[in-house]
Amino acid sequence: MEVRTRFAPSPTGYMHLGNLRSALYTYLFAKANGGKFILRIEDTDQARFVPGAVDVIYRTLKSIGMQWDEGPDIGGDYGPYVQSERKNMYLPYAEQLVKAGKAYYCFCTEEELAARREEAAKRGETFKYDKHCLHLSPEEVQRRIAAGEPYVIRQNVPEHGEASFDDVLYGHIAVDCADLDDMILIKADGMPTYNFANVIDDHTMGITHVMRGNEYLSSTPKYNLLYDAFGWKKPVYIHMTPIMRDATHKLSKRDGDAYFEDYLNKGYLKEAIVNYVALLGWNPGDEREFFTMDELIKAFSVDGMSKSPAIFDVNKLTWMNAEYVRRLTPEQFTAYALPYYEKAGVSAEHADLLARILQQRTEVFTQIPEMLDFIPRLPDYDVELFTNKKSKTNPEIAKHVLEIAIAALDALPAWEEQPIHDTLLGLAEKEGMKNGTMLWPVRIALAGKQVTPGGAIEIAILLGREESMRRLKVGLEKLS
């Protein structure tokens, strides 16, 4: 049997990290078992449809290397792969269930249902549809349909007995049919509900393994009743635990910590995000933490999936991202950093130098503008910054250092790293100073801050001769 899995997102916005993990595990399972990964767009809820969201799905999956074998844009033998384009196929299946007594037409209005919900609430009961329309005669049903009355088609869940299924992670799950509601299969607008369409689509597309969030555990018994009603073979179910922000809170869209593109915009590398998300609820069975997509495919097994909720730790993601940043070539680092140089107002003229001083310090790329904020504009600073016990400097020593440094640097024929290095360290040796005693005042004068990427010599190159000399003289004026 060929393994066929599907990722079936709703086009309602950006890719949530939970959806990303569902897609990733579904893809990895299919590829690890030599199977097919199918992309299906579930757009039956037109009220929540967001224009452009389908393109976001395509872009996200492709950008991280998850190419589908069948889908809306590439076709396949089981299309269409967009539910709204399959609309005409669902009603006949629902009518087949009606004829078999497994479903029925319901004409109850929203107002009538709301009144019954209110009555149930007053009694302290959970509302469940009372099969009010189940016993309408076929003639009555046809008369009301012919009269143009709006209707839905509901599943006729048995009032007694048990509905159950087996899940790879959770084992055997059974519920009392008396506790299940008669869910709507076809809505008044003729569109299928998600609950009905996903069953029809999974069967007609030959899906063998259904991987989805465990919020569907409670609905799956009803899905299996539909499979039984049609006499269809059921897929293998693998329900995944949620991704949590902490022990009691799910990831929050409101807090900006739920979407894949949020983290790209925060300066994280897509490879790091995918690697980290892969480990949220799955363990390779060894100590490895870093994986390429090919390595994930080879390592992935359902046996490594957890039944406990996964905690999303942004600090761990940031640590992992920093490791990925350090593994970039200088050229790759520069390519990612260029937009942040531009945001900082810093020229990429000295890209090699910038990569050298920034790459080992960068955890996420959005840190770069702050690290370079002293380059476009000298911050206002206090002369007390010239005092540093480790470098054995104070304002008096700093004044002397800047006086001799300005004279020596001004005489340099070429403003290059090696001559500046040799000049300043040569002055330190001549004056009998430690290198730090010479370099600290120069760095403070050039940057106006104590913590900088790179030291005095690198900063001088980034600023250029004219700006460096101007800042050194400003520093001397402050100390005079």
Please report the beta strands in 262-307, taking only residues with DSSP state E, as ranges in sequence order: none
Look up tokens 């380059």; give the residue.
375
Residues 177/159, Cβ–Cβ less than 8 Å: yes
Bridge partners for 104 per DSSP: 154
* Separation between Cα atoms, residue 76 and residue 70, nearest integer Å: 5
Catalytic residue among 87, 102, 131, 253: 253
* Separation between Cα atoms, residue 14 and residue 38, nearest integer Å: 20
Count other Cβ atoms within 10 Å, centred on residue 283. 13
* Separation between Cα atoms, residue 275 and residue 310, nearest integer Å: 14
Q: What phi, psi does 173 have (nearest 5°)? A: -125, 125
- Judge whether 253 counts as a catalytic residue: yes
Please report the beta strands in 32-170, taking only residues with DSSP state E, as ranges in sequence order: 36-39, 103-106, 152-155, 162-167
Q: What phi, psi does 388 have (nearest 5°)? A: -150, 115
Pairing outcome for strands 310-311 and 243-244: parallel
The CA R_g of the chain, rounded to the nearest whole Å, is 32
The residues annotated as belonging to the active site are 253
